[in-house]
Chains A and B, each alone.
Chain A
């Protein structure tokens, strides 16, 4: 029997209305499709990595799932409830199930609150019946769990290092025993040496608590390390999604291949110039995305049909949104390099 996914997202869309600078007050604002039709599923206890260039809508996707920005489409929770468009009161029940860890560890903590108050806030919001002694007990236990000294409970965020601040952020997310944690680039603001500690902490906690993770990152090697499956976004659309092993070993979409080729390989003979597939041109504006396949303006394999028809996301476990999936040939790589050089 198939188990139900924890989260089943279908055709999720987030559109911002942008008022152009200097436009007349009555001029209609222009739509910006930050997320335009994303589909994926997430099983309980699974980690989904989300990668893509800056501005492709990763954070917006996270914020839509947690109800911070209005969205359209469906996001079905394991109990069958659609999370999109719930009233704030209805959403309250699910807020303790879905928590978020933010990118900037220090900025995500209120500088005027002690660590104890910060970590206790979700508990006080979602379990108002708890006595304060009990809250303190749980906060201390959670601090210990994430590798903080419980006697630091009265300290303020500015007295901690970046890595410790992120541990506080993780403790705050975990205290209400969520089923899903969305991590929006949780380590990209940290020193490399600290990154590994925080990542390993996340992995350990996930195994212990059976959490599902949506892990957003720039750094593909981190994503590869932590994820069960990976989703590649481009201009608010899913380009490719598959298990980590499949996707890294055998990427089908030209965009994924370009992204992966840019990952440094720990090899002394490694010459980036020989392997990198460059991306021609700049990221198009999400206010006026290309017709058909959104990647076509930078794709070395683009054909006339790519401009006319939006490629559907096809496949079973390993899905690709491309009319001509498959590994890039040497000729195509050479063409991409030539365009870049010109």
Chain B
């Protein structure tokens, strides 16, 4: 009888045990992501760039609109990067501290990228998931609207908007927000259509879960993988768009600046021997884009493992 008793005890212990923590699909993906070296490198780069944008101001010896009269007029000789006079990245053509300006440009560019992607995620996901889930005529109508919006040459419209209503941050965000969600809504709709006929959606309908709750609790969480990947790839795209507009001279207004504006200025003065004016902003621009692409790739591999 000894054995029986022991068995019963272990069973009782097992039953009264604390609740076991589950291994969510997200946790699995996180593990795969951490093992991916390129993705982790990208993530570290992005964190460093983020810290640079957040904390750079406290390190800078100058503000971004202060003119340094000692270097003015002889930037090529005096304005190069140096630790003594506090211009770690040198100065720009007017004698303003390039370090402070790069910090400030990084803030704007990252913000544009992240806000654009965030709008795309929220609007695009809900729009696409609703169209796909409801289906039928509603779907037709909603997606035709997207088609029409997509057929508009948005760069042209954006430039027109900026020229007509004046250059401002809110105009820029509005313009970028208007276009960024279109692709996202298409991708999400496609995914939703394939999810819609899965049995667990049918099960939820049979239970009587209302449609909006099915979209939010059953459809959207199963889309988040695709959405996350696309959003990380969208951030650099938004940054590129903003840079292009700034490069054309229509972006943010002085004394504010962005990577595109800085690169544009740096490229303009390249011939005067002030190469650092191009090199520093370009460096941050390039590593950030690579960072996002690596992270996006890593996310895709982590969320969609082929070997399952």
Q: Residues of A with Cβ closer than 8 Å to B? A: 63, 66-68, 88, 91-92, 95-96, 99-100, 102-104, 107-115, 121-122, 125-126, 149-156, 158-159, 169, 172
Name, among B14, B18, B20, B199, the residue most crowded by chain A CB atoms within 10 Å (CB to CB).
Answer: B199
Chain B neighbourhood of A150, CB < 8 A? 15
Q: Is B19's CB within 8 Å of the partner chain A?
A: yes
Determine whether the beta carbon of A121 is less than 8 Å from that of B207.
yes
Q: Are A121 and B204 in contact (CB under 8 A)?
A: yes
Beta-carbon nearest neighbor of B209 in chain A: A125
Given A107-B200, A109-B200, list of 7 further CB < 8 A pairs? A95-B208, A111-B222, A113-B217, A122-B208, A125-B209, A152-B20, A155-B22
**A161: shortest Cβ distance to chain B, in Å?**
15
Contact pattern, B 161-203, Cβ under 8 Å of A = 1, otherwise 0: 0000000000000000000000000000000000000111011
B206–A100 touching, CB < 8 Å = yes
Is there a chain A Cβ closer than 8 Å to B300's Cβ?
no
A154 to B25, CA, bound (A): 13
Give the residues in chain A near B199, CB-CB below 8 Å: 102-104, 107-108
Contact of A99 among B18, B21, B206 (CB under 8 A): B206
Chain A nearest CB, measured from B305 CB (Å): 12
Q: Which 9 A-B pairs give the minimum distances between C-beta atoms? A: A95-B208, A155-B22, A108-B199, A112-B221, A107-B199, A154-B22, A110-B200, A122-B207, A156-B22
Chain B nearest CB from A89 CB (Å) reads: 10
- Write out the residue numbers on chain B whose beta carbons fall within 8 Å of the beta carbon of A109: 200, 203
From residue B276, how far is it (CB to closest CB) to chain A in Å? 49
Indicate if the CB atoms of B23 and A108 lie closer than 8 Å. Answer: no
Q: Please report which residues of chain B, range 2-20, place their CB below 8 angstroms from some CB of chain A when the two chains form the complex.
A: 14-15, 17-20
A121 to B208, CA, bound (A): 10
B23 → chain A closest CB, angstroms: 6
* Chain A residues within an 8 Å CB radius of B205: 68
A95 to B15, CA, bound (A): 33
A108 to B200, CA, bound (A): 4
A68 CA to B206 CA in the complex, in Å?
7
- Name B207's closest neighbour in chain A (CB-CB): A122
Contacts of A152 in B (CB 8 A): 19-20, 22
For residue B24, CB closer than 8 A to chain A, the reply is: yes
Given A102-B202, A108-B203, A159 and B19 touching (CB < 8 A)? no
The answer, yes or no, to whether B32 is at the interface (CB within 8 Å) is no
Which of B15, B25, B200 touches A156 (beta carbons < 8 Å)? B25
- List, sorted by A's number, 24 A–B pairs whose CB atoms are closer than 8 Å: A66-B206, A67-B206, A88-B208, A95-B208, A100-B203, A102-B199, A103-B199, A104-B199, A107-B198, A109-B200, A114-B22, A114-B24, A121-B209, A125-B209, A126-B208, A149-B15, A151-B14, A151-B18, A152-B19, A154-B22, A156-B22, A156-B23, A159-B23, A169-B203
Bound: A102/B217 CA distance, A: 20
Q: Is B202's CB under 8 angstroms from A68's CB?
A: yes
Query: Assuming the A-B contacts A66-B206, A125-B209, are A110 and B218 also in contact, with contact meaning beta carbons closer than 8 angstroms in the complex?
Result: yes
Q: How far is the CA of A80 from the CA of B19 in the complex (A)?
A: 45
Chain A residue contacts of B206, Cβ below 8 A: 66-68, 95, 99-100
- The answer to whether A154 touches B21 (Cβ under 8 A) is yes
**Minimal Cβ-Cβ distance residue in B for A105:** B199
Q: How far is the CB of A26 from chain B (nearest CB, A)?
A: 16
Min distance, Cβ A139 to any Cβ of chain B, angstroms: 11
- Across-interface contacts of A108 in B (CB, < 8 A): 199-200, 202-203
Nearest A residue (CB) for B21: A154
Q: Which residues of B contact A158 (CB under 8 A)?
A: 25
Q: Is the Cβ of A155 less than 8 Å from the Cβ of B20?
A: yes
- Other-chain contact of B17, A102, A112, A114, A151 (Cβ < 8 Å): A151
Q: In the complex, A113→B218 CA distance in Å?
A: 9
Closest to B198 in A: A107
Q: How far is the CA of A291 from the CA of B304 in the complex (A)?
A: 50
Q: How far is the CA of A152 from the CA of B17 in the complex (A)?
A: 10
Query: Which residue of chain B lies nearest to A91 when distances are taken between CB atoms in the complex?
Result: B208
Identity of the chain B residue whose Cβ is nearest the Cβ of A111 in the assembled complex: B25
Q: What CA separation (Å) do A66 and B20 show in the bound complex?
A: 35
Distance, CA A103 to CA B208, complexed state (A)? 19
Q: How far is the CB of B51 from chain A (nearest CB, A)?
A: 32
Which A residues are CB-close (under 8 A) to B209?
121, 125
Interface 1/0 per residue, B17-38 and A, CB below 8 Å = 1111111110000000000000
- Whole-angstrom distance from the CB of A3 to the nearest CB of chain B? 27
A126 contacts across to B, CB distance below 8 A: 207-208
B208 A92 Cβ-Cβ under 8 A: yes
Q: Which of B17, B21, B203, B218 touches A172 (beta carbons < 8 Å)?
A: B203
Tell me the smallest distance from the CB of A316 to a CB of chain B, in Å.
34
Q: In the docked arrangement, what's the CA distance between A88 and B206, Å?
A: 11
Q: Which chain A residues border B200 with CB–CB below 8 Å?
A: 107-111
Least Cβ distance of A181 to chain B in Å?
Answer: 11
- A156 and B24 contact, CB distance less than 8 A: yes
Instruction: Give Cα distance in the complex from A168 to B268, angstroms.
Output: 67
Rounded to whole angstroms, the CA-CA distance of A104 and B25 in the bound complex is 19
- Pairwise interchain contact B207-A95, C-beta atoms closer than 8 A: yes
Chain B hits for A114, CB < 8 A: 22, 24
Docked Cα-Cα span, A252 to B218, in Å, equals: 47
Which chain B residue lies CB-closest to A184?
A: B199
Q: Which residues does chain A contribute within 8 Å of B18, judged by CB atoms?
A: 151
Smallest beta-carbon distance A258→chain B, Å: 31
